[in-house]
């Protein structure tokens, strides 16, 4: 399917599962999802009274965590294309009586926010469902200020062979089976049941190295990853450089080779001085 068809299809998928989305997420991750989300929050470095943006926010769980980090004088904004997901998020907001959060209907490829208006942007398990992953990352990078973080968490394939074998069976066989029985087995677009689609969407998803390259191409620096759940989930972290950093020339190959050597030398000299002193 082309980009427009995929966007419409994904929107239907998430509208269909909105009511049971949180319950299935907890079940699929064996209750570990909140712990992984807290790790995402730590990597955002969102300051008190800051502004956090959650892209493809779904029912708003990470947007609520950003609001908690920002505190009463800060703000959290959740953006999603699915109206049913946003309705569920707003219902939670009313129940929890959280004032420093707002939800907007919008596309991850054209975020309805001003450039450089957030201290951090997050995205949870949604990159594989957008039609243009590099553009989605560029939009998040555009939305954050200089020095701000872009942190995404996404399903990934474990590198350790036994873990990968178990993951393939669980993700491609068990998860769709659970989704069919606990949420909906109705075919979306006469093609897939919702959780069969979510599993299939990983097959064409780029590997970790490629996602890191997209981060760097979006202008982000200090790009790195952290694995969760034996590699079944990966957190991608990048920082928007300051104006001063942007003006620095790109390091040459020689700089990259000699840099670590110089650092080791300086550490050894410092250690020797401490021992002599």
State CA 208 to chain mean position distance: 13
Q: Three-state DSSP class for 68?
A: helix
Q: Can you give the three-state secondary structure of 82-125, one letter per residue?
A: CHHHHHHHHHHHHHHCCCCEEEEECECCECCCCCCCEEEEEEEC
Of the candidates 70, 76, 72, the one whose C-alpha atom is nearest the C-alpha of residue 45 is 70
DSSP string, 154-212: EE---SSHHHHHHHHHIIIIIHHHHHHHHT--PPBTTTB-HHHHHHHTTTT---HHHHH
Is 107 labeled as ligand-binding? yes
Round to whole Å and give the CA distance between 69 and 65.
6
- Residue in the structure block whose two tokens are 């009274």: 49
CA distances from 65 to 40, 46, 54, 80, 92 (A): 10, 11, 10, 16, 13
Is 18 labeled as ligand-binding? no
Q: In what order do the strands lie in the sheet with 51-55?
A: 101-105, 75-80, 51-55, 118-124, 144-155, 233-239, 221-228
Is 108 labeled as ligand-binding? yes
Is 80 labeled as ligand-binding? yes
Binding residue positions for S-adenosyl-L-methionine: 59, 80, 107-108
Binding residue positions: 59, 80, 107-108
């Amino acid at each position: 399917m082309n980009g427009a068809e995929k966007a419409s299809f994904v929107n239907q998928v998430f509208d269909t599962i909105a009511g049971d989305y949180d319950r299935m997420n907890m079940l699929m991750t064996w209750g570990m999802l909140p712990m992984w989300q807290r790790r995402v929050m730590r990597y955002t470095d969102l300051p008190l009274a800051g502004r956090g943006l959650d892209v493809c926010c779904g029912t708003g769980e990470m947007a609520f965590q950003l609001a908690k980090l920002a505190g009463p004088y800060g703000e959290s904004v959740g953006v999603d294309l699915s109206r049913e997901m946003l309705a569920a998020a707003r219902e939670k907001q009313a129940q929890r009586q959280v004032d420093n959060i707002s939800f907007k209907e919008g596309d991850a490829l054209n975020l309805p926010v001003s450039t450089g208006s957030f201290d951090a942007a997050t995205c949870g398990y949604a990159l594989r469902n957008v039609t243009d992953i590099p553009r989605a990352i560029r939009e998040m990078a555009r939305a954050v200020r200089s020095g701000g973080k872009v942190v995404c968490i996404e399903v990934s394939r474990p590198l350790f062979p036994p873990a990968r074998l178990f993951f393939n069976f669980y993700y491609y066989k068990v998860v769709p089976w659970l989704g069919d029985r606990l949420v909906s087995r109705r075919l979306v677009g006469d093609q897939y049941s919702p959780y069969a689609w979510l599993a299939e969407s990983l097959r064409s998803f780029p590997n970790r190295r490629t996602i890191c390259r997209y981060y760097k191409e979006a202008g982000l620096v200090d790009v790195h990853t952290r694995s969760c759940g034996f590699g079944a989930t990966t957190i991608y972290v990048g920082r928007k450089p300051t104006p001063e950093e942007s003006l620095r020339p790109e390091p040459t190959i020689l700089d990259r080779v000699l840099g670590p050597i110089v650092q080791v030398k300086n550490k050894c000299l410092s250690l020797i001085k401490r021992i002599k002193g």
